[in-house]
Chains A and B, each alone.
Chain A
């Protein structure tokens, strides 16, 4: 069974640009959640999607957005990039969501903002 796939694995952007990250969940999983990981702030929850609807949202500005498609694949977008957005962005999938089951994480997309 294939795991969670995130693309791209590495990318470099400059301030003011926007970026789109993609996540393909494990087949049959309906929940996809996104996290930002930085040395200073640790792992922080961005948002969760379930059956194409945003179910929960963390405390991030509106520059961070996401969506989920009918096949459960998800994308997150960050607009007007800032230096502080440099981080590892992790996607996780689960059948129901973290509240009732384990999360399966991808290896992440490492974003560097110059």
Chain B
């Protein structure tokens, strides 16, 4: 059974680095992991995507260990505007080649001044 779990909430202070972990079982070799940010009354917004090792862009890094049973979104030096809910999304490949998109449970990040 494909399942994707995250911590429910996290608090951090401005300027700190925040790491949010997503646990995903039964992930296939080439299944992608994507992270999204969602503000109230808005649709999720893309942050970063990868499927192995480490990916970095201008706003975040994504770490995926060799066993690929988890992934970690790293936000460097967060600000108050980073207060939002963060979701990981895994596209699980099932037998027969079909795949389904499974969102994580979401992590509510609160950044404090």
Contacts and interface: CB of A to CB of B under 8 A. Distances in A.
B87 interface: yes
Contacts of B45: 105
A43 B106 contact: yes
B100 A105 contact: no
A60 to B, nearest CB: 11
Nearest to B87: A43
A42 B103 contact: yes
A56 B92 CA distance: 11
Contacts of A100: 32
Contact of A102 (B49, B98, B101, B105): B49
B41 interface: yes
B100 A45 contact: yes
Q: What is the size category of the interface that chain B forms with chain A?
A: 20 to 34
Contacts of A107: 41-43
A56 B46 contact: no
Q: What is the size category of the interface that chain A forms with chain B?
A: 20 to 34
- Tell me which of B32, B42, B44 has the highest count of chain A C-beta atoms within 10 A of its own C-beta: B44
A48 B104 CA distance: 18
Contacts of A58: 100-101
A108 B89 CA distance: 18
B102 interface: yes
Contact of A98 (B42, B43, B91, B105): B91
Contacts of A108: 43
Given A56-B100, A90-B43, A103-B46, 10 more contacts: A4-B43, A42-B103, A43-B106, A48-B101, A58-B100, A58-B101, A98-B101, A99-B99, A101-B49, A105-B43
Interface of A: 4, 33, 35, 42-45, 48, 56-58, 90, 92, 98-108
Interface of B: 32, 34, 36, 41-46, 49, 87, 89, 91, 98-106
The 6 closest A-B pairs by CB, nearest first: A105-B43, A102-B46, A43-B103, A45-B101, A99-B91, A105-B44
